[in-house]
Structure 1
């Protein structure tokens, strides 16, 4: 049994048993499957190709407790002498390069001998030795998104929109309260009259703020007071 480190807190214990899995599996995105997804995304969006390769293999999981590391057989590896994949590669080469019959027969005979050695070596080794971690998802795999995952994503977006809207409402409420308070103080302490276009209160407030090291144009303060007056409950202070 071997272990693969998933993150700082989790390890995946791998047994020596080779199993065949079928059906729908989730992608934990901790190995080469993450690179495959990124590569396919870049292809769909016209982005750059993902050339990185995973060293720990490709993983799938059915739930939080069961996870598998996908394996590839050396017989499917065209670089393995004597493999079926190497034979298919050789046949394709013979056709593409239009290799003469005698030379082609020699190459096929060489592969036949390599095949015998490969099978003999395979029989004398544990079954696990005939496999190695897959470099990516199977070529015939189909990517799907679970309906539940789509619903969860939609809900997440909706929750974020609600949160943003609440933040906007809260900010607006605070601004209104501050404008109302400023206008009430201006009326009581600076003699501000919302109905008078020539009130000296904005200038007086600007001078008071300047003494505290804060500089504002009196016209800006006048606009604030007009907005604040419109928020006050007394009708005579509304525009």
Structure 2
């Protein structure tokens, strides 16, 4: 992995395929990336270039037994998601908020079906004309780098089949252009749309704002699939851990062979997190980059500063400070 790769917030599917091809020494393409995501091997994200409407949700995880015991008659089907053999209940507010930027796309029911559809289109070389009709209509959900979860919405103005909506009008005008209607036919259709539009606005003005949005089940224009560098590193590290035997009975002292002579709060904080890594993976980190990636995932992380905040600490530790301490305390580079 080059330095430019590490500095990027996200990579396109094409660039991700190139990075994996180089790392694995074998050809990898976009379809492979989607397949890996469907299988839960790599995390996809979506880059939203324009803001989209969402509901922020509070997450409640239920296993199958708890789900059977929980009365769900008052819970909309769209609020229940299957994710990694558990059930996720999103208790959302009625507030409509807007988000943009890079958000992760976990492989829950509707999300997974959407990516399967994208893979099918790619394999069959299908253009954008084929419509995605999911079996699961709960809608897409996204997760931020801070583990905030949102349900993706679509406003009634953006629904093409909604008579009188803006999107409905745009589709009509495009149809008139494509099918070369006569001036009389076009005027009649536009006249009917104007009346539909009047009724649409009248109904909308009497409807609470939260009732003018529905669960959306696909990504719209001005958004595209990407992969975070962290997700690529995690995937490669997973492959490495599968082929390398576990290091038995290793401790943090095997990593930090040159501890400071006097008590050091920063070192003790780093040492504790390194212990967590060893306890989780049953081995030492292969290098400082792997340990740093682990820290940025587990601790509060400021992407702009490229710095972490240890628990109970008031001072941020950036990558340079971490690297210096790591270099002075271990022989593992």
TM-score, normalised via structure 1 length: 0.61
Contact 1:75 1:83 in 2 (8 A): yes
When the two chains are superposed, the root-mean-square deviation of aligned CA atoms in Å is 2.8
* Aligned counterpart, 2:222: 140
Structure 1 residues 9 and 85: alpha-carbon distance in aligned structure 2, compared to 1, 3 A threshold: closer
* Aligned counterpart, 1:197: none
Distance in 1 (CA, whole Å) between partners of 2:221 and 2:167 is 14
Contact 1:26 1:62 in 2 (8 A): yes
Contact 1:80 1:86 in 2 (8 A): yes
Correspondence 1:34 to 2:112: yes
SS of residue matched to 2:161: coil
* Aligned counterpart, 1:17: 95
Give CA deviations for 1:123-142 in whole Å, capped at 9, x if unaligned.
Answer: 10000111110021223212
1:47 CA drift (Å): 8.6
Tell me the number of residue pairs that the alignment of Structure 1 and Structure 2 aligns.
Answer: 165
Contact 2:134 2:217 in 1 (8 A): no
Distance in 1 (CA, whole Å) between partners of 2:205 and 2:97 is 18
* Aligned counterpart, 2:193: 111
Give CA deviations for 1:45-97 in whole Å, capped at 9, x if unaligned.
Answer: 44999864431011001157521110111111111111111111211222222
Distance in 2 (CA, whole Å) between partners of 1:80 and 1:51 is 17
* Aligned counterpart, 2:203: 121
Contact 2:114 2:217 in 1 (8 A): no
Distance in 2 (CA, whole Å) between partners of 1:16 and 1:28 is 23
TM-score, normalised via structure 2 length: 0.45
* Aligned counterpart, 1:78: 160
Contact 1:29 1:59 in 2 (8 A): no
Higher helix fraction: Structure 1 or Structure 2? 1
Match of 1:62 among 119, 125, 144: 144
Contact 1:70 1:134 in 2 (8 A): yes
Q: Structure 1: where are the runs of 5+ without partners?
A: 165-239
Give CA deviations for 1:95-136 in whole Å, capped at 9, x if unaligned.
Answer: 222222122112111111110110010010000111110021
* Aligned counterpart, 2:312: none
Structure 1 residues 141 and 54: alpha-carbon distance in aligned structure 2, compared to 1, 3 A threshold: farther
Contact 1:78 1:85 in 2 (8 A): yes
Distance in 2 (CA, whole Å) between partners of 1:38 and 1:66 is 24
Over alpha carbons, which structure has the higher Rg? 1
